[in-house]
Structure 1
Amino acid sequence: MKTTERRSTCPINYSVEIFGDKWMLLLLRDIMFNGKNSFLEFRASDEKISSAVLTEKLNILLNEGIVSKVTSPKNASKFLYLITDKGIELVPVMVEILKWGSRYNPDGGPKTWLDRIKSNEKKAITELQDELRNHRNSFA
């Protein structure tokens, strides 16, 4: 894993240096809530991330141990980006961001997940974490 120079040892600084731009949170959204795992799936998102930016952001997530990169079992020339346990620990944070965004932008958001969260947030978080682990483990 590549080490990155940090501006300080502050935990908030560490988090901001990883997640301090929209693309990182959108990639995590796509992995966690939309089941995306491949470069082309990420590129197909509504926000239209460029290939160069996507490559840079995926490399940061890889270097930080938030995702791992594996060869697709269906196509040896295709890579899949699978969330690690470190990344799965971010699910409650992403749920809070989702809830906040849906409160102030009620037209958006993954309705299925919002409904599950509103019904029983703790259960929804646990189920999402389990689904992500099971999906990742299906490629092991």
Structure 2
Amino acid sequence: MKTMERRSTCPINFSVEIFGDKWMLLILRDLMFNGKNSFLEFRASAEKISSAVLTEKLNMLVDEGIVSKVVSPKNASKFLYLITDKGIELVPVMVEVLDWGSKYNPNGGPKPLLTQVRQNKKKAITELQEKLRSERQSYGLD
């Protein structure tokens, strides 16, 4: 695992150095909320991330221990990216970003997850974290 040289020991700086651009949050969104876990699935997202940027960001998430990279059990030439427990701890943060964005985005209509969040945020977060852990276990991880 590579270690990134940090500008300071500030916890906010630490977080910004990992998540300080749109691509990281969108990759996490796709992992957590959209069930995506392959390079091609991430590339197919509406925001059209380039292959080079996606490779860089996925490698950084792997290096930080937020995502693990495993060989697909269905295709040995394909890798899957699965969120780790460290990444699963980010679910409450991502749910808050989702909730805030939908509140102030005039085109951000209700989605099933958003409806769950608005009905019972704590329960929605717990269920999403359990689902992500279960997915990891289905690949023989954890």
Say yes or no: does 1:139 pair with 2:142. no
Match of 1:13 in 2: 13
The 5 A counterparts of 1:1-140 are 1-108=1-108, 111-140=111-140
The amino acid that maps onto 1:136 is R
The amino acid that maps onto 1:14 is F
Alpha-carbon distance in 1 for matches of 2:110, 2:97: 12
Give the Å deviation of 1:108.
Answer: 2.4
Alpha-carbon distance in 2 for matches of 1:47, 1:26: 9
Give the Å deviation of 1:107.
Answer: 1.9
Ranges in structure 1 where 5+ consecutive residues have no aligned partner: none
Moved more, 68-77 or 99-108: 99-108
The amino acid that maps onto 2:57 is K
Contact 1:99-1:114 at 8 Å conserved across structures = yes
What secondary structure sits across from 1:81 in the alignment? strand
Give the TM-score of the pair, scaled to structure 1.
0.98
Alpha-carbon distance in 1 for matches of 2:84, 2:74: 21
Contact 1:43-1:50 at 8 Å conserved across structures = yes
The amino acid that maps onto 2:11 is P
Moved over 6 A (4+): none
What is the CA RMSD across the aligned residues, in angstroms?
Answer: 0.9
Alpha-carbon distance in 2 for matches of 1:110, 1:18: 29
Give the Å deviation of 1:116.
Answer: 0.5
Alpha-carbon distance in 2 for matches of 1:45, 1:34: 10
Contact 1:98-1:109 at 8 Å conserved across structures = no
- The superposition leaves residues 60-107 of structure 1 with CA deviations (integer Å, 9 ceiling, x where unpaired) of 000000000000000000000000000000000000000100000142
Give the TM-score of the pair, scaled to structure 2.
0.96
Question: How many residue pairs are counted as aligned between the two chains?
Answer: 140
Ranges in structure 2 where 5+ consecutive residues have no aligned partner: none
Moved more, 64-73 or 102-111: 102-111
